[in-house]
Amino acid sequence: DVKVTQSSRYLVKRTGEKVFLECVQDMDHENMFWYRQDPGLGLRLIYFSYDVKMKEKGDIPEGYSVSREKKERFSLILESASTNQTSMYLCASSPPGGAYEQYFGPGTRLTVT
């Protein structure tokens, strides 16, 4: 059974803290993605990675960075968390090519106070 796991389901951080969100997939997928989900806005792509150490900006990369040192792991980093980054964060993975669906993790609900 395919699996994408995220390190935390709920996270509360203070403004200015550095925050790491971890995502691990066990399907040997090349592509990995980080989305942000907000009510009424749907899912918006923050970053994606198509290979180890490779990354591409999505639609809303400002305030975020990513790291992919191993194929199975994709980390989202908030260098200095702000209250407007309070949101649900979803990680996904997929094989290369558009003919494949993305598999999603359960999400991390981050609150920045």
Partner 1 sequence: AQSVTQPDIHITVSEGASLELRCNYSYGATPYLFWYVQSPGQGLQLLLKYFSGDTLVQGIKGFEAEFKRSQSSFNLRKPSVHWSDAAEYFCAVGNQAGTALIFGKGTTLSVSS
Enumerate binding residues for partner 1 (CB under 8 A): 4, 31, 33, 40-45, 48, 50, 56, 58, 90, 92, 94-107
Shortest Å distance, C-beta 84 to partner 1: 19
Tell me which residue has tokens 């609150």.
Answer: 111
67 or 102, CB closer to partner 1? 102
45 or 77, CB closer to partner 1? 45
Is residue 44 a contact partner of residue 60, using CB atoms and an 8 Å limit?
Answer: yes
Shortest Å distance, C-beta 86 to partner 1: 16
Give the CA dihedral 23, 26, 27, 31, nearest 10 degrees.
Answer: 20
Shortest Å distance, C-beta 88 to partner 1: 10
17 or 30, CB closer to partner 1? 30
Q: Please give the single-letter amino acid code of residue 100.
A: Y
Return d(Cα 82, Cα 14) in angstroms, integer: 8
By residue count, the chain amounts to 113
